[in-house]
Structure 1
Amino acid sequence: MLQEIRITNFAIIENLAIEFHFGLNVLTGETGAGKSIILDALNLILGGRADTDTIRSGASTATVEACFTLDDPQTLAMIADLGIDVDNGEVIIKRIISSSEKNRTYLNNSNLTVAALSAIGDRLIDIHGQHDHQSLLHPETHVDLLDHYGRLMQNRAEFQEHYAAYQKTLQTLKQIQTHQGERLQRQDLLNFQIDEIDKAGLSVGEDDGLKSEKNKLNHAEKLHQSVQNILDTLADADGSVLELLGRVDRELQGLPEIDPALETQAQRGQTAYLEAQELAEELRDYQKTIEFNPARLEEIEDRLAEINGLKRKYGNDIATILEYRETIGQELATLSLGEESIDALKEEIKTQQKALAGLAVELAKQREQAAEKLKKAVEKELRDLNMKHVQFSVRFVYETDAEGFTTYKNKKTRTHANGIGEIEFLFSPNPGEDLRPLAKIASGGEISRVMLALKSILNEQDPVPVMVFDEVDSGISGSVAEKVGTKLKKIAEQKQILCITHLPQIAGMADSHYRVHKTVSGKRTRSTIIELDYEHRVEEIARMSGGETITETTLKHAREMIK
């Protein structure tokens, strides 16, 4: 649930902090007081677009921060997958909008992309406003509502997974058939490249070894002469280093018998002599490996030229060339399938079509069964909302497709990404009127009630813990408003509800009541929000009922409204 929201320098809100509670939280206030600004701040917390125009005049940054407590395993897993720790289910989201710097987004003090926040936000709060009510007028949204109600989203996801694989197979077949000529040209090119690379017989690191050997051959004479000079000085010439070290060693060997303190020095002298001997032997062995071989040098230069030519064509180093060889080998294998590949793909498409048709038909049957239950549930909810003669129905239209592979109700039907058929909600508010699309018959108030009825029905299927209703009371009043409040109160038994309303009947149902108030001081406008105690609730509901003039009668009526 949403525990708290803090807003700083956002629109006309200078500094605001408010705690919310479980149950039905109602926000009231005069038009323009700032209720919609709080909703904008919530949208920002859920990953909405940040606009520098929302920064309060005179400030350089605006900050919105919200604290949630979560217990949904999937939401917590999404956060954990981002490498962010959550202690005791507490999640703090913070958005900072800056007029001069980059905007920043945090979750539990960890940087977060807006896209990642949006994905998490979809599981935190479900906001319903006038836009959502209007979405009911668009039939393309109706299938989602029906599938949610019928618990068919998993079935639909399975169908869509198969459908995506089917479309991919179709695309592969189309590409192969469309580019037959290009395919043969490509095969010739790949065969040439593979043959050229394979003939070279490359091995990783080979060029480095060849460069080292080339350098040694180029400097063979210098190496031989330098080593000989060293050997002369070290061992071969009269008065060589070895000869002198031998004298030193012999002199030192007898001294420890006279003074044991010279034992270490005697050992070091012997070690120096032996080291010099070993060095001389190693240099003589190395000198034997030095060769003057112009033919080998030419061979190395030719090999390096061959390798460098392949590098210019296929990659900056041998490892990249061999990786490219592997890639084009796989591509050639695919291209070489030719007609066999086309035949195999056609068979695969037939298999996929059969599976898709079965899934589509089963999903259509399940939707029609769910539609019957939805019809009864919506009509019951709407009758509870004072629409006594309402009729509600779900219309299914199955488009004929002579080339289609799905047969339903004895006719071939077009298959699409959501299955088969198009769905639209039909509505008749009054007796004697035919069922017609919502867009053609429903008033604003009726649309609001239909949306509330659907949300009430879908409450159990919806995992989002917080629901926000903005202007759900649009176009209604009187006893209908009281029934809408009762319906919201019922939903609030299982979820935290935030409701912005102008109707005292709904405000009276609140578990927690907040008043949004705008003040003007000098040339600055400020919006504040406070949680009302009982007496202030009575005054606010009296104001909502009777206007600014509050009488004992309106106060008494307000007390009666508070449930």
Structure 2
Amino acid sequence: MLAELSIKNFAIIEALTVSFEKGLTVLTGETGAGKSIIIDAIHLLAGARGSSEFVRYGEKRAELEGLFLIEDDNHPVYQKCEDFGIDVSDGMIILRRDLSSSGKSICRINGKLVTIAILREVGQYLVDIHGQHDNQELMNEENHIHLLDQYGGKKTKHALEDYLEVFGRYETLQRKINKLTENEQEMAHRLDLLQFQLDEIESADLQPREDEILQEEKNQISNYERIFDSLQNGYNALHGEHKGLDWVGHAMSNIENVGNLNHTLKELSEAISNVYYLLEDVSYQVRNELESLEFDPARLNFLESRLNEINHLKRKYGQSVDEVLAYSAKIEEEIDTIQNKDSHLHNLQKELDSILKDLAVEAKNVTSIRKSFAEVLTKEIHKELKELYMEKTRFDVQFNIKQKSVNETKYTASGIDEVEFFISTNPGEPLKSLSKTASGGELSRIMLAMKSIFSQHQGITSIIFDEVDTGVSGRVAQAIAEKIYRVSNGSQVLCITHLPQVAAMADTHLYIAKETRSGRTKTSVKPLGENEKIREIGRMIAGVEVTELTKEHAKELLALAHTSKS
């Protein structure tokens, strides 16, 4: 849920902090008071396109910040944040966006700088905003298949997972076949290039880890004098009269003389003896290393030449000799595939035909499950529409099979189905695409009926209705009020409304007002108490003048709302 919203220097709002509660919160007030501006701020926090025009006149930037509390540990927003490296702790997500007067926008999620695209991806899991003319999700037929799949829940999800496992193998094979059936001239050029690369690598006769081994040898020869001097000085420091080993030997002899007197002296004697013999072994190793040292200019020249040759290949084919050899094996396989193209194509096509049979079975299973849920969805939406006094409206989910050509099915990541919602609002009229039918008032009710169903399956934390009740009155207004309240039982709902019936259903009622001080307009938000609710709902019923009779009507509305909520 959206717990707190802070706005600074945004449109006509100078500075405003609003706390929100669970359930249904309505925002009311005079036209132009700033209700939609608050929704615009939330929209921008969720990744909507910004503009310098949003910055309050005379200010350098607008600042927006929203605190969201996520109570569900399995909410998909956690995975989305993890994908983008955003840390989420204590179930809190803070979205922040600064808009400058120059048009630049800075976005942050939990303090981490992000792009607007990332803000939008995370925001879509937190906020769902709907207005009378802002129903893109439901009005865009491309989204209908995803909404149906969300409605289908785990059963559809598991069927899609089984389908996608086979589809992944199908796509891999299809790419291989497409590569082998490329333009013959391009294939010939590719073969020439690969053969040249293979010949170049093979002629070098590389050995595993050769670059590392030769580089180590080169380092030794290049630093011959330095190594020789260091070994010579080290050996001389250990061997000879009054040198290191000589003095350690003296120490060993002296301590050995008293080593049998007590346990501690015996341990000291043994420790010095161990050190002496260890140093003696090391001195022999140093001497052997000295005797094996050899400066060979010819060998150094060979190493430098060979390493240059190897580095030339590494620049082209890999960062190490082992990577170059791996690349060689890979292109050798590709050369074999191209040279024996017909044979490989035959085998790949045979494998593809087999997978297509499995894919068709999985795709039909997905379609079957979708159609079964489409029937249930249709019944539920008819029920919702009836409750909104649109009982003569017909809703239908229509399916088509995606086609590559007249006789060939097209398989995609979402299956073979094209799904679109159709509706007829008047008896005798044919079903038409949802995006091409319905008046403003009808569209609001259709959207609300569908949202009341889909909101239970989408996991959105906050749903915002921006004047979706425009164009209705009477019993329809009461039905809409009850429907919006029902949606708020599963998600936090914020609703801008001009209907007293909707306002009466609110768990929290916020009044938006504007005033002019020192020649500047400012917006304020005030939570209303019981008496203030009565007066505001009375204003919504009667207009400017609130009479005692209007107040009684408002009290009656609140009483009816309380009854229907319980």
Query: Shorter-normalised TM-score: what interval?
Result: 0.7 to 0.9
Residue of structure 1 in register with 2:397 after alignment: 394
Deviation (angstroms), 1:461: 1.8
CA shift in 2, pair 1:198/1:356, >3 Å:
same
Deviations 1:357-391 (A, max 9, x none): 11221222222222222222211111111113222
CA contact (8 A) 2:478 2:502 kept: yes
| Superposition deviation, residue 434 in structure 1 | 2.9
Equivalent residue in structure 2 for 1:561, among 550, 557, 560: 557
| Contact 2:67 2:94 (C-alpha < 8 Å) held by counterparts | yes
Identify the match of residue 135 of structure 2 among 118, 133, 136: 133
Does the alignment pair 1:171 with 2:178? no
Task: Tell me which residue corresponds to 1:454.
Answer: 450
The farther-off stretch of 53-62 and 152-161 is 152-161
Partners of 2:385 and 2:282 in 1: how far apart?
A: 102
Offset from partner CA, 1:195-228 (integer Å, 9 cap, x none): 13434676243343343444367x69x979x989
Which consecutive residues of structure 1, in runs of 5 or more, have no partner in the other structure?
A: 254-276, 406-412
CA distance in structure 2 between the aligned counterparts of 1:19 and 1:282, rounded to whole angstroms:
78
1:372 to 366, 371, 375: 375
**Residue type of the partner of 2:72?**
D
Say whether the 8 Å CA contact 1:397–1:421 is kept in structure 2: yes
Note if 1:28 corresponds to 2:32: no
- What are the within-5 Å matches in structure 2 for residues 177-256 of structure 1? 177-178=181-182, 179-199=186-206, 203-215=210-222
- Rounded to whole Å, the distance in 2 between the matches of 1:352 and 1:131 is 45
What is the rounded CA distance, in whole Å, between the counterparts of 1:284 and 1:375 in structure 2?
92
Q: For residues 445-524 of structure 1, what are the structure 2 equivalents within 5 Å?
A: 445-524=441-520
Q: Larger deviation: 431-440 or 198-207?
A: 198-207
* Residues 414 and 92 (structure 1), Cα distance of their counterparts in 2 relative to 1, 3 Å cut: closer
Matches within 5 A, 1:90-101: 90-98=92-100
The TM-score normalised by the length of structure 2 is 0.79
CA, structure 1 residues 132+154, in 2 after alignment: closer, same or farther (shift >3 Å)? farther
Classify the secondary structure of the residue corresponding to 2:33.
coil
Deviations 1:279-310 (A, max 9, x none): 9999987775565x7xx422331232122133
- Residue in structure 1 matched with residue 257 of structure 2 by the alignment: none
> Residue 136 and residue 353 in structure 1: after superposition, are their counterparts in 2 closer, same or farther (change >3 A)?
same
Shift in Å at residue 55 of structure 1? 2.6
Residues 150-171 of structure 1: CA distance to partner in whole angstroms, max 9, x if unpaired?
Answer: 3334534543554354234212
Trace 1:11-50 onto structure 2 (pairs within 5 A).
11-50=11-50
For 1:389 and 1:33, the matched residues in 2 are separated by 38
RMSD of the alignment, in Å?
A: 4.2
Aligned length: 526
Query: What TM-score, normalized to structure 1?
Result: 0.80
2:354 corresponds to 1:351? yes
Q: 1:96 to 1:557 in 2, by over 3 A?
A: same
What is the alpha-carbon distance in structure 2 between the residues aligned to residue 279 and residue 549 of structure 1? 105
* TM alignment of 1:422-433, pairs within 5 A: 422-433=418-429
Q: 1:209 to 1:143 in 2, by over 3 A?
A: closer
Question: Is 195-204 or 14-23 further displaced after alignment?
Answer: 195-204
CA distance in 2, matches of 1:418, 1:471: 34
The aligned counterpart of 2:120 is 118
Q: Distance in 2 between matches of 1:470 and 1:383?
A: 23
Residues 1:207 and 1:280: Cα distance change in structure 2 (over 3 Å): closer
3-state SS of 1:515 partner: strand
Change (3 A) 1:31 1:162: farther
Cα offset for 1:278?
A: 12
Give the counterpart letter for 1:347 in structure 2.
Answer: K
Contact 1:93 1:106 in 2 (8 A): yes
1:531 to 521, 527, 538: 527
Look up the equivalent residue of 2:39 and give its one-letter code. Answer: L
CA displacement at 1:530 relative to structure 2: 1.2
* Secondary structure in 2 matching 1:458: helix
Structure 2 counterpart of 1:186, one-letter code: L
CA distance in 1, matches of 2:482, 2:132: 20
Local SS of the residue matching 1:386: coil
Pairing 1:159–2:163 present = yes
Mapped partners of 1:184, 1:343: distance in 2? 20
Counterpart AA for 2:363? A
- C-alpha change, 1:15 and 1:440, in structure 2 (3 Å) is closer
CA distance in 2, matches of 1:494, 1:335: 60
Gaps of 5+ in 2: 255-279, 562-566
Shift of 1:322: 3.2
Helix, strand or coil for the counterpart of 1:74?
coil
Rg bigger for which structure? Answer: 1
Q: Would you say the 8 A contact 2:177–2:345 is kept in 1?
A: yes
Give the Cα–Cα distance (whole angstroms) in 1 for the partners of residues 540 and 484 of structure 2.
19
**Cα-to-partner distance string for 1:418-442 (whole Å, 9 max, x where unaligned):** 3234333222222333333334441
Query: For residues 335 and 13 of structure 1, do their structure 2 counterparts lie closer, same or farther at Cα, with a shift above 3 Å needed?
Result: farther
- Tell me the amino acid that sits aligned with residue 159 of structure 2: N
